[in-house]
Amino acid sequence: MDGLARLSPRVAEHAGIAAELAQQRDVSAFLVGGVVRDFFDRRESVDLDMVVEGDGVDFARRLASRLGVEVLVHSAFLTAELPSVAGCRIDIATARRERYLQPAALPVIEPAPLAEDLARRDFSLNAMALSLRSPGPLVLIDPFSGHRDLEAGRLRVLHDRSFIDDPTRILRAARFATRLGMRLDAAGEELVAGAIAAGVFERLSGARLRQELRLTLCRADLASPSLAQLAEWRVAENLHPALVWGGAEKSRLSAVHEVMNSVVGGAGALNRAPTDRGVGGDGFALSLASWVFDRPQPARRDLAEHLQLPAASRSLIVEGPERIRTASRSLLYCGVRTISPQAASRILRHLGDDELLLMIACEAAPAAGWARREYEEMRRLELTITGADLLAIGFQPGRRLGKVLERVRDARLDRAITAGEELAMARAMLEEAEQPLLCGEQ
């Protein structure tokens, strides 16, 4: 086998440093997971997953010190992560065994040899490891013939109770099948059907389901095919009654992904954390909202509560569709093709940024066009004058200042004046207000 040079350069560099540390500390360390699959498929890995026999957390701390980065420890799971190493995330776990005390619950974890760690995994292709302990060629450890299944395009489940112990593996299977071009074998499909019949998703917590849906929905290349696979297995509607998948849902989800790419900016926008997104663009909430856009509001509310969504996401999913439809009807009533920009902005001004993005994706072209213009241009317009400027030319303090600025802004939106003419318009309004009444005027 080739050595680390077969990996992508960035991952190979970090894996090489980890291998040196393992050899110096006489620690048995292994590459596992996606980096091993990518090794054989010659795909470029962006993350590095490792398992260490013994104390994986201690190894992670030493590796972080050597790389000069922070380490985030998850003591309950015997894992640690180095979240940002030159754009590469490194996850390190202690080799462990798992015991599921009840279906769909988190397992009880105990340290164990690598053989048990590989045996407790979900699919054969994830039960491969590459040893980093010995210098020279990498050594493949493949007790369940994962490499053979990978070459055959076969996704094979390791344990009959796998989907009952952890139903999130079913969603993972759909993503693997889509991303790797594989097919769950007949035995695996029977296990999916059996898990559904056992009502396993009824016991899955909303928080864990939310995480799996995020991993599925926030990949533009995987989302629709993965959800189609889940629908084929009759999984989607069993996750929650609101999660029906069909042609309309596929079209809206694709539209949201296109909006995130073209309007918010860049393919990475879907995975941006809400705190990083600036003005609008919660990719997960928007994708989920597009999926259930046509479901009745009580069903959307029940879904949002089950997933334990934060307030902003819950509002988008529960109230957003009605607010968007109301805005669309108002635009239509006012003449959506002839309405002035300032009038359209007044209708759309009460919508949040994410509601506008959802409207762009889910509504018909004329209304969606105004929503896009409101998001990109109209609500971003900033006047060059302020209330202080109005006071300086003679206006009295009070609510009238806001009304004057609003009229100036409306004129800017309609392109009746330029930025350089704002103060002149305000001065004309002041002079008009100070004109004495003519004889006979009341």
Question: How far apart are alpha carbons 66 and 46 in whole angstroms?
Answer: 20
Give the model confidence (pLDDT) of 176-234 as tens digits.
999 889 999 999 999 999 999 999 999 999 999 999 999 999 888 899 999 999 999 99
Give the model confidence (pLDDT) of 294-324 as tens digits.
999 999 999 999 999 999 999 999 999 999 9
> Residue ranges per domain, the chain?
4-149, 200-318, 322-380, 387-434
DSSP string, 15-81: HHHHHHHHHHHT--EEEETHHHHHHHHT----EEEEEESS-HHHHHHHHHHHHT---EEEGGGTEEE
The pLDDT confidence band at residue 269, using thresholds 50, 70 and 90, is low
Average pLDDT for 134-160: 89
Give the model confidence (pLDDT) of 41-87 as tens digits.
777 777 899 999 999 999 999 999 999 999 999 988 899 999 877 77
Per-residue tokens: 255:
């539209």
**Confidence at residue 281, expressed as pLDDT on a 0 to 100 scale:** 66
More reliable by pLDDT, 108 or 304: 304
Amino acid (1-letter code) at residue 405: L
Least confident interval from 196-210, 231-245, 265-279: 265-279
Residues 6+ apart with CB under 8 A from 5: 12
Does residue 360 have a pLDDT over 50? yes
End-to-end CA distance of the chain: 97
The pLDDT confidence band at residue 433, using thresholds 50, 70 and 90, is confident
Does residue 125 have a pLDDT over 90? yes
**Confidence at residue 39, expressed as pLDDT on a 0 to 100 scale:** 83
Write phi, then psi, for 73 (nearest 5 degrees). -100, 135
Per-residue tokens: 53:
């026999």
Burial of 244 (C-beta count, 10 Å sphere; 0-12/13-18/19+): middle
- Per DSSP, the three-state class of 242 is coil
Question: How far apart are alpha carbons 405 and 410 in whole angstroms?
Answer: 9
Quote the percentage of the chain above a pLDDT of 70. 93
User: What are the helix (H) ranges across 92-204?
Assistant: 114-119, 146-152, 162-165, 168-180, 186-197
DSSP letter at 157 equals: B
Per the CB < 8 A criterion, the answer to whether 319 and 289 are in contact is no
Residues 6+ apart with CB under 8 A from 355: 316, 320, 323, 324
The pLDDT confidence band at residue 435, using thresholds 50, 70 and 90, is low
The pLDDT confidence band at residue 274, using thresholds 50, 70 and 90, is low
**Confidence at residue 441, expressed as pLDDT on a 0 to 100 scale:** 40
Give the model confidence (pLDDT) of 365-411 as tens digits.
899 999 999 999 999 999 999 999 999 998 889 888 999 999 999 99
Pairing status of strand 183-184 against strand 154-155? parallel
**Confidence at residue 192, expressed as pLDDT on a 0 to 100 scale:** 96
Per the prediction, the chain carries an average pLDDT of: 89
Fold of 4-149: Beta Polymerase; domain 2 (3.30.460)
Quote the percentage of the chain above a pLDDT of 90. 70
User: What does R_g of the chain's alpha carbons equal in angstroms?
Assistant: 28
**Confidence at residue 424, expressed as pLDDT on a 0 to 100 scale:** 94
Does residue 135 have a pLDDT over 90? no
- Per DSSP, the three-state class of 129 is strand
Give the model confidence (pLDDT) of 39-50 as tens digits.
887 777 778 999
DSSP letter at 436 equals: P
Does residue 2 have a pLDDT over 70? no
User: Among 256, 264, 165, 164, which residue's Cα sits nearest to residue 219?
Assistant: 256
Per the CB < 8 A criterion, the answer to whether 78 and 96 are in contact is yes
**Confidence at residue 187, expressed as pLDDT on a 0 to 100 scale:** 96
Q: How many Cβ atoms are within 10 Å of 350's Cβ, its own excluded?
A: 10
Does residue 275 have a pLDDT over 60? no
User: Among 227, 215, 272, which residue's Cα sits nearest to residue 252?
Assistant: 227
Give the model confidence (pLDDT) of 413-427 as tens digits.
999 999 999 999 999
Give the model confidence (pLDDT) of 251-261 as tens digits.
999 999 999 88
Does residue 128 have a pLDDT over 90? yes
User: What are the helix (H) ranges across 319-421?
Assistant: 320-333, 341-348, 353-362, 365-376, 387-392, 400-413
Average pLDDT for 342-352: 94
The pLDDT confidence band at residue 108, using thresholds 50, 70 and 90, is confident
